[in-house]
Structure 1
Amino acid sequence: MSYSLIRFTRLGSETEQTGVLVDGRIHSLQAHINDLVQNWADWQETVEQSIAEPAGDTIDLDDVRLLSPVQPQQIIQAGANYRTHVIDLAVSHKEENQSEEEVREQTARMMDKRSQEGLPYFFIGLPSAIAAPNDELSLPYYSQSHDWELELAAVISKRTHRVSVDEALEHVFGYTMVNDITTRDLVFRKDMPAIGSDWYRAKNAPGFFPTGPLLVPSKFIADPQQLTVTLKLNGQVMQQESTADMIFTVAQLISHASWNMPLLPGDLVLTGSPAGNGAHWGRLLRDGDVMEGSITSLGTQTVACRDEVRV
């Protein structure tokens, strides 16, 4: 029987709890999520025993507020990691004298070469931006260019430093999803063009990382490169792509990320977002929008957007 880990509060309570979710029922656990992740070898039998022989009443999923299932110390993000997404971006910036077909073919060749000879592009996210999977998102008043980017995220199980690609997935506790909200008009610094992108300002605002709802142990995800990432905006599918379209696999991303810095238990490694974000569609987030994100086996998050009220 498969199960997932969650964090939650009971309705009417502020006490945060950890639980294991099976068939819509929650078995409460007396453990912090990071303790479970870091010491899973000690906890797994206890968790599975609590499912087989519940010691007390289980909790209905409708009677709780779900929280982010993880509390990482570090968030590592991969950019431009889906082949189709990068090709679409190249087409959107093509010169007038270039045909779309020419740009697609040229960029496809570049991506194939990059996957064989290149390196992933990483930047750092802030844990303070993590939000619950179904909380309302306040769209900051200083821009009208907020965008969605649904991503598969790997959760690190143990200290991971300079591991090989072949070893990397042994360092993954499980998987969750993150909608990596981005403020498009802040990505590039107009006052400092030589510096390039400014991911600190373009991301990381409060609530910009809706995360979860589920943390699914890796033994229930046979192949992280065979999942489907889907984001709907007001019921319309905007992103729908297989993780097979990644330029660098989850294992490659973890290996490369660990080469420069140690990854710690509970850390998130985001794997990039597929084609179909708002910049592609020419339609960014507005007051009243509802985003519904889902990834195979990882549940669904539903985030309503509201314009921030300036005080």
Structure 2
Amino acid sequence: MLVRFSKDKTSPLRTGLLVGDRVHDISARYPTVARFVAAHPDGWDAKALDLSGAESHAAASVHLGPPVDDGASVYLVGANYKKHAEEAGLDVPASPVIFMKPTTALVGPHDPIQLPPISSEMDYEGELAVMIGREACRVSKEDAPRYVAGLTVVNDVTARDLQWVMLGKNRIVDWLSSKALDKSTPVGPGVASRTAGADPHKLRLTTDLNGQRMQDGETSMMVFSIWELIAFLSARVTLRPGDILSTGTPVGVGGFRKIFLKAGDRLRIEVEHVGVLDNPVTKA
């Protein structure tokens, strides 16, 4: 699994490979995640790579950050599961609804989700994300699988009380205020290689809040497949190695049941064959 790590939370993040219970430092050869996935766009087998000269650390002794380079593009998809659209009171979109987050919104797989003082209605959204391995511009749906190097997990934490604003007589989404808040969005624990063999459209996704199951879905339930999303997005912007695309959340978010995150909560999001995000919740 491809990770970004540091020996402590104050040191700069380095590129590493998590193999078993050891993190191997590969930053001398691959100083960024983008450089690594560009060199291995079809995925990788960590055990087949030459790690003999790489310094290694016990995984339990290091801090894992989000496995995304600072400044990478982070794309997400709204209402990409039918029942989630219905619970939000929305029609299923006729075409993908794409928005972005800055990397300042991201935190690592065990870091606290920080609740900002401007929102009292923060909500979780467990999601599967893919990492781009090749530059993608105007890619067809049929060719799209060639552009995914790996898979990761995202918790698209959303401020429900900041999500909608009025523009004249029209209600529109304020993507910045609701989705891009500092240190609110866990990603990780790392990037699992596509060569692991899991079909990204047949993965179980679960979210537990304080030990209670809140979301339990399968990625087969997406409205638009990953390949359709890549084709749609790459027709509009060039995707670069190291960019990620998070593919939407299944039914079961808290906000539409008036269940909002509070300091002291704990969230656990798992996508089978990919990884687990396990994050505490604190006030910013």
TM-score under structure 2 normalisation? 0.90
Aligned to 2:22: 25
Tell me by how many angstroms 1:26 deviates.
1.8
Aligned to 1:129: 105
Q: Is the 8 A contact 2:122 2:157 kept in 1?
A: yes
TM-score under structure 1 normalisation? 0.83
Classify 1:64/1:193 alpha carbon distance in 2 versus 1 (closer, same or farther; 3 Å): farther
Matches within 5 A, 1:69-84: 69-71=67-69, 73-84=72-83
Percent of aligned positions with the same letter in both sequences? 30
Unaligned runs of at least 5 residues, structure 2: none
Give the aligned CA root-mean-square deviation in angstroms: 2.3
Tell me by how many angstroms 1:57 deviates.
6.0
Aligned to 2:143: 167
Aligned to 1:307: 283
Equivalent position to 1:64, from 62, 69, 91: 62
Cα distance in structure 2, aligned partners of 1:285 and 1:191: 28
Classify 1:195/1:88 alpha carbon distance in 2 versus 1 (closer, same or farther; 3 Å): closer
Deviations 1:98-153 (A, max 9, x none): xxxxxxxxx7xxx5xx6xxx311112222221111211122011221110011111
Aligned to 2:178: 202
Unaligned runs of at least 5 residues, structure 1: 94-106
Tell me by how many angstroms 1:241 deviates.
0.5
Paired residues, number:
280
Indicate the larger mover: 146-155 or 299-308.
299-308
Pair 1:40-2:40 in alignment = yes
Aligned to 2:5: 8
**Local SS of the residue matching 2:142:** helix
Classify 1:299/1:88 alpha carbon distance in 2 versus 1 (closer, same or farther; 3 Å): same
Tell me by how many angstroms 1:68 deviates.
0.8
Q: Is the 8 A contact 2:66 2:107 kept in 1?
A: yes
Q: For residue 159 of structure 2, what is the amino acid of its counterpart?
A: T
Task: Please state which structure has a larger fraction of its residues in strand.
Answer: 2
Matches within 5 A, 1:1-311: 4-11=1-8, 14-29=11-26, 30=28, 31-32=30-31, 33-40=33-40, 48-50=48-50, 54-55=52-53, 58-71=56-69, 73-90=72-89, 118-190=94-166, 192-194=168-170, 196-308=172-284
Q: For residue 84 of structure 2, what is the amino acid of its counterpart?
A: H
Cα distance in structure 2, aligned partners of 1:8 and 1:252: 32
Q: Is the 8 A contact 2:43 2:193 kept in 1?
A: no
**Structure having the higher Rg:** 1
